[in-house]
Amino acid sequence: MKYFGKKLIAMAVTILVVSFLVFLAFAVIPGDPAISMLGTEATPERVAALREEMGLNQPLLVRYFSWVAGVLHGDFGTSYSYQMSVTEMIGDKIPVTLMLTLLSFLIMLVISIPLGIFTARHEGGKADRFIYIVNQIIMAIPPFFSGILITLLFGIILRWFTPGGYVSYDVNFGQFVAYLFFPALAIALPKAAMAVKLLRTSVASQVKMDYTRTAYSRGNTTKDVFYRHILKNALIPVITFLGMTLADMVAGSIIIEQVFNVPGLGRILLTSIQNRDYPVVQAIIVCIAFLVIFVNFLVDIAYRAIDPRITLD
Amino acid sequence: MKTKVLKTVLLALVCSTLTIALGACSGDKASENSSQITIGIPQDLEDSLDPHKSVAAGTKEVLFNVFEGLVKPDSNGDFIPAVAESYDISEDAKTYTFSLREGVTFHDGSQVTAEDVKYSIDRCAGTDGSAPLIEAYSNIDSVNIKDEKTVEIVLKEPDTEFLAYMTTAIIPESNENPDTNPIGTGPYKYVSRSPQENIILEKYDGYWGTPANIERVVYRIIANADSIVMNLLGGSVDMFVRLTDAQAKELEGSDFNILEGTMNLVQAVYLNNAKEPFNDVRVRQALSYAIDRTQIMEMVSDGKGTEVGSSMFPAFDKYYMEELNDVYSQDFEKAKELLAEAGYPDGFSFTLTVPSNYQQHVDTAQVVAEQLKNIGVTANINLVEWDSWLSDVYADRNFEATIVGIDASTMTASAMLERFQTDASRNFINFSSSAYDEAFRKAKASVDDEEKTAYYKECETILAEEAANVYIQDLPQFVALNKKFGGYEFYPLYVQDIAKLYFVDENNE
Amino acid sequence: MKKKKNYNLILGCILTGLVVVFVLVGLVYTPYDPEAMDSSLRLAGVSLAHPMGCDNFGRDILSRVIKGSGTTLFVALGTVAIGTVAGTLIGALTGYFGGIADEILMRIIDALFAFPSILLALVFVSLFGSGKYNVMLALGIAFIPSFARIVRSEFIRCKNMDYVKLARLAGAGHLRVMFVHILPNTLSVLVSAVMIGFNNAVLAEAGMSYLGIGVQPPDASLGRMLSEAQTYLFSAPGCALFPGIVIIIMVLGFSLLGEGLKKTA
């Protein structure tokens, strides 16, 4: 239990550091939210008045601490550009990004685990070679480009979905999921390729271990040994990888949301940075950071649960 | 045992993914609302929805359908009475009197009263001592309610063009959240918005004028300009109004009609007249001699677009001076001579700052840079975000040269020319000419239309001769409209009039 | 296993060699000026004079692909160099000495890790402006945490090994132990990290160009060309195809090379 306490404190500290770094970054970045809001109608008088109104003239630390105080009360402030409550705005978009990530993760599992096991069992065969090459090529395509290709193939040529025809989850959940399937595929493909490769190497290294030979010499059947001993041990590094991937996917969604016109956290984040809409950027980054750290934490626990050599204290 | 569990889990995963994939195939039946149009817009309304506070052109373009002023512009650029039924301008151009129209209601059902009108105008004029929301309104001396249906606006200085500013939205005094809940008098009322996703409008049944034809308007945000063609072809968007020439070409032979108009702006290499070497008129002229507008238009929009030679675009036919296009024509020898005279016989290099979100300007910058190489001048292109552009170039004037398009916020010549007065707050190029200031002042003060026009034209001529900027073109605008719809009209302003759109074949609904 | 030829290494060498030759030639010779425009050749198709066709300004795509490969390779190499050098230093020092400095630095590294690297680069580019050097620096910084982590764990593993203790007993200074004794032992891990890092850098550059914050025009980079080509996917597929193929060859070559090296090691 001591371990959890320590971990939790470390998590909190990391998030504090992240949020402060963002605050600092925006203090030095060129661009002024007040000017940004007024656009070409900015006159020095209006800018000055607006800056005062927005509290931008207060010192950095004062602004930071009042922000932290607000967050502790569940209040992320008001968006400069939308004049909406940030909590509400982000709350609306979190399900979109979460669903996208979840779908990508599922697709990745569905593709990679059977394929990984298959290639591992047929190591060196023709099919293995072929999958290996396809894998390497998939990993070499920039994600946004595979997104464009998927749009072209499934959207324009096959007409399986309407490019840009995103439907919100509160309008029609089925269509929402159906649309997200394709961006999720674009995110999942390169990750699946990596997972297949990792699983294959991992299994291969287990096969050479002494315990495998012992198991065989005891008279166990090949299939038995494979699933009972080899796979179980081979999965340990894969789980670490999956955890890292989940975090990676949240980041990867920033680009893919842009390609598929999905209004998730990534899209809001990009435009908010451009608009110097600090309260929104702050909130999203803290959310993403939290998600990443939390996933890492879960992986850590899963890892310890599976591998008997590591204890929780 | 373990094997079984693993297999079951895998099977479940495969099944669920398959279900989703199958669901995806039927995803095409996106809610076919019988009377709905989906319009793609390149930027979200990252703005307040309060018509007096919103500043982005993209926001005004949408809100045009929700709000109306006492008068409103029509597609010829003239003003037609809206919330007011008629108006009267006094001889000395200092008193504007408006009679309100009978039976105009706000979207919440309440009647528009003289108090609402006074409230709206006072709010923009900042009569409570705050900075005016509309700069021109600082000229308002008082707003008086004559009777229930008559409002009088008294100016400090005479201004014959002031009617153009009376397009400012009339809003109800009772609305407590104008930022997020816009209530106006226009043909469409606001329904909802979701950031980076959409804005939804619905036909307002109590509209006083010709009602709109289409029940529901969904503005869908397509932030990624490169995906527009795919979205149009895929059928998720019915209309998109700002295509590039290349995008329009990709749509040939599809379900879309491509309409062509102009953007009504002045695209130019705007030079910081206060910075070396652009503080020397000879250098500015040399640059003007070095570029070839025809080639730029050829490269950027396949030869479409209209040349401009000063800060006025052709839609203002009253003020536009075609002859100014010929002040400079490409002549490298002349350009080099001028450079040598100015002390740069070997040319020089400068930074050309361009906002990265406008593909046309980015493309133009690349062509301009190539053309300037001919006279030994190197333009280093620096792409910046729109917000950096606003703060560095526009507000702080910390730049050497930039390429943007400047449009008119209202249908007046002064909207285009005001900014080049020496001490104008929007004079971001630091242009300074006493002759110009004089001519502009006289134009503004004049109450005789002919005289006024002559002075404005003098201003334009000065800008061209001084080569204040390297003027290029008014960009072409391409509108893609699904063949199901008709009735699109180009305005000389940055607005889209949705109320005029209709279904071409009612059976097609 | 020993009898088998190391196909990965051979193929990796060939592909990488091809790209390097391509880029080196580009330093001294391109068929056309990669920035010269010609309005009569806008979006021209494949021809003998222009084997890859022309882009929307009538610029020769082959020349631009050659120049662009150079830029992309340069950015990727720079990124990896920054990430490796800084990451190794931080990882080595924190891993070897441990203590409070390690704790603080690791918290910061954790924090950086929680940032998507694209985001970090975005903030950096907003701060210092775009352009290839800034992209390189931004990505380089974003890559430091992963290298630091790898090196750190290697150093922690090695620092209590006998050969390190022996070296210390023999009177070697800390720095000498760190960089002469331990570092060579982490090389195999580091090399594969570098190869992966290189590929990530190529892909990240493309991603940044897609978001409009990468290498700036008129400079050509493969990622930039790829994202610009999107509009012309139907009328001029060559604009996207050729830069895409070169990116794939580049990344493929390096990852095969990395795998091959791992097998020989």
Q: What domains appear along chain B, each with residue ranges and CATH number?
A: 16-51+56-63+186-261+480-507 (3.40.190.10), 71-167 (3.90.76.10), 264-474 (3.10.105.10)
Structure confidence at residue B509 (pLDDT): 42
C-alpha dist (Å) from residue B359 to A153, B224, C228: 26, 12, 10
A143 contact residues in C (CB cutoff 8 A): 203, 207
The DSSP annotation for chain A comes to -HHHHHHHHHHHHHHHHHHHHHHHHHHHSS--HHHHHHGGG--HHHHHHHHHHHTTTS-HHHHHHHHHHHHHTT---B-TTT-SBHHHHHHHHHHHHHHHHHHHHHHHHHHHHHHHHHHHHTTTSHHHHHHHHHHHHHHTS-HHHHHHHHIIIIIIIS-SS-TT----TTT-HHHHHHHHHHHHHHHHHHHHHHHHHHHHHHHHHHHTSHHHHHHHHTT--HHHHIIIIIHHHHHHHHHHHHHHHHHHHHHHHHHHHHHHT--SHHHHHHHHHHTT-HHHHHHHHHHHHHHHHHHHHHHHHHHHHH-TTS---
SS3 B317: coil
- Residue A17, chain C, CB below 8 Å: the answer is yes
Structure confidence at residue A1 (pLDDT): 59
CA distance B171 to C229: 46
> Of the candidates C107, C244, C255, which has its C-beta nearest A145's C-beta?
C244
Residue type, B3: T
Q: What is the average per-residue pLDDT within C153-162? A: 80
DSSP state of B465: H
Mean pLDDT rounded to a whole number for chain C:
81
B264-297 per-position pLDDT tens digit: 889 999 999 999 899 999 999 999 999 999 999 9
CA distance B190 to B199: 8
A30 contact residues in B (CB cutoff 8 A): 388, 391-392
Sheet hosting strand B95-100, strand order edge to edge: B84-89, B95-100, B150-155, B140-147
In contact, A191 and A199? CB cutoff 8 Å: no
B442 pLDDT band, cuts 50/70/90, is very high
Structure confidence at residue B333 (pLDDT): 92
Considering only the C-alpha atoms of chain A, give the largest distance between any 2 of them, rounded to a whole number of Å.
87
B219 pLDDT band, cuts 50/70/90, is very high
From A155, A150, A233, A231, select the one nearest A190 (Cα to Cα): A150
Backbone φ, ψ for residue B79 (5° rounding): -105, 130
Q: What is the average per-residue pLDDT within A286-310? A: 73
B464-497 per-position pLDDT tens digit: 999 999 999 999 989 999 999 999 998 888 888 9
B330-356 per-position pLDDT tens digit: 899 999 999 999 999 999 999 999 887
Burial C93-123 (b: 16+ CB within 10 A, else e): bbbbeeeeebeebbebbbbbbbbbbbbbbbb
From A218, A303, A297, A302, select the one nearest A12 (Cα to Cα): A297
Higher pLDDT, C124 or B85: B85
CA distance A216 to A228: 12
Q: Please check whether residue C117 lies inside any domain of the structure.
A: yes
For a pLDDT cut of 90, what percent of chain B falls above it? 47
How would you classify residue B270: left for phi > 0, otherwise alpha for psi between -120 and 50, otherwise beta?
A: beta
B118-136 per-position pLDDT tens digit: 999 998 887 777 777 777 8
Residue B45 pLDDT exceeds 60: yes
Q: Please check whether residue C198 lies inside any domain of the structure.
A: yes
From C173, B19, B47, select the one nearest A37 (Cα to Cα): B47
C187 pLDDT band, cuts 50/70/90, is confident
For a pLDDT cut of 70, what percent of chain B falls above it? 92
- A-B C-beta contacts closer than 8 Å: 185
> Of the candidates B246, B302, B384, which has its C-beta nearest C231's C-beta?
B246
Residue type, C182: I
Residues in chain A: 313
SS3 sequence of B55-100: CCHHHHHHHCCCCCCCEEECCCCCEEECCEEEEEECCCCCEEEEEE
Q: What is the average per-residue pLDDT within C89-114? A: 78
- Residue B173, chain A, CB below 8 Å: the answer is no
| Cβ–Cβ below 8 Å for B387 and A167 | no
For a pLDDT cut of 90, what percent of chain C falls above it? 3
In contact, B418 and B440? CB cutoff 8 Å: yes
What is the DSSP pairing of strand B349-355 with strand B378-384?
A: parallel
Residue A26 pLDDT exceeds 90: no
Q: Complex ipTM, two decimals?
A: 0.78
Outline where C98-131 has alpha helix (H): 99-114, 117-128
From the number of C-beta atoms within 10 Å of its C-beta (0-12, 13-18, 19+), residue B333 rates as: exposed
Higher pLDDT, B159 or C164: B159
Q: Calculate how close chain B gets to C120, using CA atoms only, in Å.
A: 16
To test the contact with chain A by mutation, choose from C210, C245, C250 the residue with the greatest count of A C-beta atoms within 10 A, namely C210
- Residue A157, chain C, CB below 8 Å: the answer is no
| Cβ–Cβ below 8 Å for A148 and C230 | yes
User: What is the dihedral sign for C-alpha B252, B257, B261, B267?
Assistant: negative
Q: Please check whether residue C25 lies inside any domain of the structure.
A: no
Other Cβ atoms within 10 Å of A173 Cβ, number: 13
Measure CA B225 to chain center. 17
Higher pLDDT, A48 or C116: A48
Tokens of A153: 């193939």
Q: What is the average per-residue pLDDT within B400-423? A: 88
Measure CA B2 to chain center. 65
| Cβ–Cβ below 8 Å for B231 and A271 | no
Tokens of B169: 């939205």
How would you classify residue B169: left for phi > 0, otherwise alpha for psi between -120 and 50, otherwise beta?
A: beta
- Residue B250, chain C, CB below 8 Å: the answer is yes
In contact, A262 and A147? CB cutoff 8 Å: no
Backbone φ, ψ for residue B242 (5° rounding): -130, 70
CA distance C70 to B351: 24
Q: Please check whether residue C35 lies inside any domain of the structure.
A: no
Structure confidence at residue C49 (pLDDT): 81
Q: Please check whether residue C111 lies inside any domain of the structure.
A: yes
Residue whose token pair is 């997104």: A147
- Residue A11, chain C, CB below 8 Å: the answer is no
SS3 B469: strand
Q: Please check whether residue C191 lies inside any domain of the structure.
A: yes
Residue type, B411: M
Given a contact as 3+ CB pairs under 8 Å, which chains touch B?
A: A, C
CA distance A244 to C240: 31
Given a contact as 3+ CB pairs under 8 Å, which chains touch A?
A: B, C
Residue C1 pLDDT exceeds 60: no
> Of the candidates C115, C211, C226, which has its C-beta nearest A18's C-beta?
C115
Tell me the CATH number at C253: 1.10.3720.10
pTM over 0.90: no
CA distance B51 to B66: 9
Tokens of B506: 């009612």
Residue range(s) defining the domain that contains residue C245: 7-19+54-264
Mean pLDDT rounded to a whole number for chain A:
80
Burial B469-493 (b: 16+ CB within 10 A, else e): bbbbbbbbbbbbbbebbeebebbbb
Residue whose token pair is 């404190």: A9
Tokens of C197: 């890092």
Tokens of C20: 């390097």
Q: What is the average per-residue pLDDT within A30-55? A: 72
Q: Which residues, including other chains, have CB under 8 Å from residue B50's CB and lie 6 or more apart?
A: B171, B178, B179, B182
SS3 sequence of B402-459: EEEEEECCCCCHHHHHHHHCCCCCCCCCCCCCHHHHHHHHHHHHCCCHHHHHHHHHHH
Structure confidence at residue B18 (pLDDT): 55
B44 contact residues in A (CB cutoff 8 A): 271
Residue B508 pLDDT exceeds 60: no
- Residue B229, chain C, CB below 8 Å: the answer is yes
| Cβ–Cβ below 8 Å for A259 and B227 | yes
Higher pLDDT, A303 or B208: B208
C111 contact residues in A (CB cutoff 8 A): 14, 17-18, 21, 289
Q: How many domains does chain C have?
A: 1
Structure confidence at residue A228 (pLDDT): 67
| Cβ–Cβ below 8 Å for C207 and A142 | yes
SS3 sequence of C129-172: CCCHHHHHHHHHHHHHHHHHHHHHHHHHHHHCCHHHHHHHHCCC
| Cβ–Cβ below 8 Å for A251 and C223 | no
Given a contact as 3+ CB pairs under 8 Å, which chains touch C?
A: A, B
Residue whose token pair is 């204040």: B468
Structure confidence at residue B421 (pLDDT): 92
Q: Which residues, including other chains, have CB under 8 Å from residue A43's CB and lie 6 or more apart?
A: B131, B135, B425, B426
| Cβ–Cβ below 8 Å for A258 and B223 | yes
Q: Please check whether residue C46 lies inside any domain of the structure.
A: no
In contact, B153 and B120? CB cutoff 8 Å: no
Structure confidence at residue A31 (pLDDT): 66
| Cβ–Cβ below 8 Å for A36 and B196 | no
Residue whose token pair is 């040939």: B252
Residue A190: asked if its preceding bond is cis (omega within 30°), the reply is no
Task: Tell me how far apart the terminal alpha carbons of chain B are, to the nearest angstrom.
Answer: 59
In contact, A192 and A107? CB cutoff 8 Å: yes
Residue B19 pLDDT exceeds 70: no
From B125, B85, B78, select the one nearest B103 (Cα to Cα): B85
Q: Please check whether residue C252 lies inside any domain of the structure.
A: yes
Output the CA angle B496-B498-B502, nearest 5 degrees.
135
Q: Averaging pLDDT over each range in A47-61, A278-292, B82-96, C86-100, which range is the top one?
A: B82-96
